[in-house]
A and B are shown apart, each in its own frame.
Chain A
Amino acid sequence: MKFVGMFFLCAGALVFSPVFAADIAIVHAGRLLAVPGGAVTTEQSVIVRDGKVEAVMSGYVTADQAGAAADDKTTVYDLKNMFVLPGLIDGHVHITSENNPRGRLQRVEMSDADYALAGAGFARITLKAGFTTVRDVGARSRDAVFALRDGIARGDVIGPRIYASGSTISVTGGHGDGTQGYSDDIAEVLHSSGVCDGASACRKAVRDQVRRGADHIKLTATAGVLSNTSAGLEQQFFEDELKAIMDATHAMGRKATAHAHGVNGINAALRAGVDSIEHGTYLDSESIRLFKRNNAYLIPTILAGVTVAEWADDPNSFLLPPQRAKAKEVGPKMLDMARRAHEGGVSIAFGTDSGVSKHGENAREFQLLVDAGMTPMQAISAATVAGAENLGKSNVLGSIEPGKYGDLIAVEGDPLVDITQLEDVDFVMKDGVAY
């Protein structure tokens, strides 16, 4: 009653009642996989009110049947010939950049504003590819990824919903440092607030990311392929530093995900309590045990392995010698790693490392996950319900259910029969808006 009273007050005083009219989208879905892992239903209507799913109803309902009022703005989407499923989630992207021969130069050329605008371009491509949510796990720019996240949320630019980590937490000279090879005075300027040595500094580095607006924390537990240093692929953070990172992360109400290749780093990070592992190249049976004990996710990023292996084989690619050697080592191992993890019962979330591979080609990972032994349904679950859980956002993301964001996509064919259907998405809706 109080609400109604306010309504009349507003309408009377300001003649501004349209504010209270709803935006309603009615999606007529020929086939609907509302909750991946569950059943495919036919001839369904998804009602999205003001960006959130209000109901899923059998049959193709009209605006009236959907409960739309006269002054509501109602749009009906005819996807009767389509297969509708939740918007896809990529758990591992670098949305503000994309690898290219000029990458090292761009690092000293591009301002935050340049990165934000480049990121806006990549974000648009990613959304159009059917990815309505991404987790950015390390932006080389300073504030651009947060600006892009907020700009998309405000509607300034078009893109997926972004959860951002800000700067990667890394040891000095480690994989997430990024200043390798620049002269000292330049490296000083490029210095990242995520670089830390020792437990105290690492607490501060984590807290600094949260202060800057990080939704989660990304750390590089081991060395990595594309850092310009021949520092192997093994553990880089010590146990006390890992513990400090995890304590600070959880104390700030965030999750942390660890980039890790070498098994010592994977297992040390899992023991320290990380919530997920990125890449995971050399995981072993002990790792699998720890994954399961911790309920941690693996984001295999097989596409990144395939991409760097292609570059390593091309003598004219722009890889520097240390990068090439590591790419040759790691790239071909990632598919087998994903297979071992899946067979061992590790929970897998979808992630591509796009930014290493080209933005917009994210869906190539689906076929690779299937190659690694997942069923198409499991692969789709990895990019929806599991992706949401990995983000800690199962209440709003990952399935088409009342109360969740109106994020859905549609394809002509049946992705459960041919998973590559997802490489060409025909319809993309985010927050009830069709793109």
Chain B
Amino acid sequence: MGKLTFGALCVGFFFAASTAQAADWTIIHAGKLLAVPGGAITENQSVIIKNGRVERVEPGFSATQTLDTADGDEVSVYDLSDYFVLPGLMDMHTHLSFEIGPSAKLESVELSEADYALRAAQFGKRTLMAGFTTVRNLGGGREMLAYRDAVNEGIAIGPRIYAVGGGISGTGGHADNHGFRSDILEVMKNPNVCDGADDCRRAVRSLVRDGADVIKITATGGVLSETGAGLNQQMLDDELRAVVETARSMGRKVAAHAHGTDGINAALKAGVNSIEHGTFLNRESIRLFRRNDAYLVPTLLAPAMFAPILSDPNSFLPAPQREKGLIALARAQQYVHEAHAGGVKIAYGTDAGVFPHGLNGKEFKLLVDWGGLTPMEAIEAATTNAAALLGQENAIGSIEPGKYGDLIAIKGDPLTDITELEDIDFVMKEGVAYKAP
């Protein structure tokens, strides 16, 4: 009774606030439902979502009247009885505030943090519309923390974001700035550059202080840094250990960009949670992946999309980038297969931004064709595996009670034709439909 009285008080004095207590209900009538990837497909199911969270999944197409609604509650019903419904997709490797192109380098000295934040808003929206309701953003700077918060507060539309707020690298390493004159580089100074274990502790702690959800390091050289510094280990063992220890002490996981074998294995030995790219992984790497329960995030779409540009001498890419790209491209069709066959867990990631945002769904076919995954395994990589990599398996990754109401729908059957996931018809995040047929 006391509670009721309080409620009545609220209505009397704070009328506007009381509407917040009314619940938003959503009923999805799913013709086919893959509620938990890896599990069974069921037919003619209803997903009931209350205030953004899955309340229950039940057989048949439930009517509004079956809900335990109160006065003022809103109910939306979506008829997806002709559709295949599955959990919202997750891309574990995006660069939402950036998109490569001939003018990207110039933009890095023209655009302010505010400009980049607005870019992210556009690219983020495009990513959500492609069916990706969650991303782990492994690039950009502090602007991504602002965009993440804006999405969470409902100011901006976009996927749920786990952001790094900047990649950690040694001076001149892959995540540092390159190709500008030295006084300009001084101004562009990447605050996440660290040299030596102590400095790397500082870099991790600063990022966490500023709001990073995850820590990203560039353990090796990379393709798209404008420097002929190869693809091998760049951060040294004590620095890698310092990053991982510090991240753990602050409750953060570590994602390591790594191409060269030495860097992959050094990062795994230091205890990172995922290897991004992983181009030159070997048998020892596979052993370390399994020992550590670490994930491989292959990002095959990056080399696939870059293939035509890499061999074009007139492309906007400087020579060192083209050379490194060709080296990485040569391994792209084998190494995921090796890892997968060796029992390495794979999480879905694309490197979107290195190619236009919104094409994230094209990685599925590459995981199947080049990586040897079954369509179901590829979908798991983008749902349950990704959720586990984020440490969010109780909140996302499947359509189960208590989890976020993130789901997508397509006409066809992605288990028969995985490219169905390249064109998503229905997108819902936290019970709100952003795209409907």
Contact = CB atoms under 8 A, between A and B. Distances in A.
Interface string B176-217: 000111111011100000000000000000000000000000
Contacts of B188: 186
Contacts, number: 37
Contacts of B180: 108-109
Nearest to A181: B110
Contacts of B111: 183
Given A108-B181, A111-B181, A111-B182, A182 B110 contact: yes
A188 B112 CA distance: 13
Contact of B184 (A108, A114, A181): A108
A184 B110 contact: no
A183 to B, nearest CB: 5
B181 A109 contact: yes
A114 to B, nearest CB: 8
A185 B110 contact: no
B179 A183 contact: no
B106 interface: yes
A183 B110 contact: yes
A184 B109 CA distance: 9
Interface in A66-111: 104-105, 108-111
B314 to A, nearest CB: 12
A1 interface: no
Interface string A174-191: 000000011111101110
B105, B112, B184, B188, most chain A CB atoms within 10 A: B184
* Chain A, interface SS category: helix
A228 to B, nearest CB: 10
A109 B179 CA distance: 6
A119 to B, nearest CB: 15
B183 A105 contact: no
Interface string B96-119: 000000000110011110010000
B407 to A, nearest CB: 40
B109, B112, B183, most chain A CB atoms within 10 A: B109
A111 B115 CA distance: 27
B106 A105 contact: yes
Range, interface on chain A: 10 to 19
A232 B158 CA distance: 40
Interface residues of B, number: 16
Nearest to A101: B102
Contact of A189 (B105, B115, B179, B183): B183
B109 A186 contact: yes
Contacts of A181: 110
B181 A110 contact: yes
Contacts of A111: 181-182
B182 A108 contact: no
A44 to B, nearest CB: 51
A227 to B, nearest CB: 15
Interface string B338-370: 000000000000000000000000000000000
A186 B181 contact: no
Contacts of B187: 185-186, 188-189
A186 B106 contact: no
A82 B105 CA distance: 51
Nearest to A115: B181
A108, A109, A185, A190, most chain B CB atoms within 10 A: A108
Contacts of A108: 109, 180-181, 184
Given A183-B111, A183-B112, A184-B112, A104 B183 contact: no
B136 to A, nearest CB: 27
Interface in B79-101: none
Contacts of A183: 109-112, 115
Contacts of A190: 184
Contacts of B106: 104-105
Interface in B165-184: 179-184
A352 B187 CA distance: 36
Interface string A108-140: 111100100000000000000000000000000
Contacts of A186: 109-110, 184, 187-188
A192 to B, nearest CB: 13
A75 B436 CA distance: 87
A100 B384 CA distance: 51
A105 B112 contact: no
B118 to A, nearest CB: 14
A108 B105 CA distance: 10
A321 to B, nearest CB: 14
Contacts of B186: 189
Nearest to B115: A183
B68 to A, nearest CB: 54
B105 A105 contact: yes
A398 B390 CA distance: 76
Contacts of A184: 112
A153 to B, nearest CB: 26
B427 to A, nearest CB: 34
Contacts of A109: 179-181, 184
A104 B112 CA distance: 16
A7 B262 CA distance: 72
Interface of B: 105-106, 109-112, 115, 179-184, 186-188
Given A108-B109, A111-B182, A189-B186, 14 more contacts: A105-B105, A108-B180, A109-B179, A109-B180, A109-B181, A111-B181, A114-B181, A183-B109, A183-B110, A183-B112, A183-B115, A184-B112, A186-B110, A189-B187
Q: Which 9 A-B pairs have the closest CB atoms?
A: A111-B181, A186-B109, A108-B184, A105-B106, A183-B112, A108-B109, A185-B187, A108-B180, A189-B187
Interface of A: 104-105, 108-111, 114, 181-186, 188-190
17 contacts: A104-B106, A105-B106, A105-B109, A108-B180, A109-B180, A110-B181, A111-B182, A114-B181, A182-B109, A183-B110, A183-B112, A185-B187, A186-B109, A186-B110, A189-B184, A189-B187, A190-B184
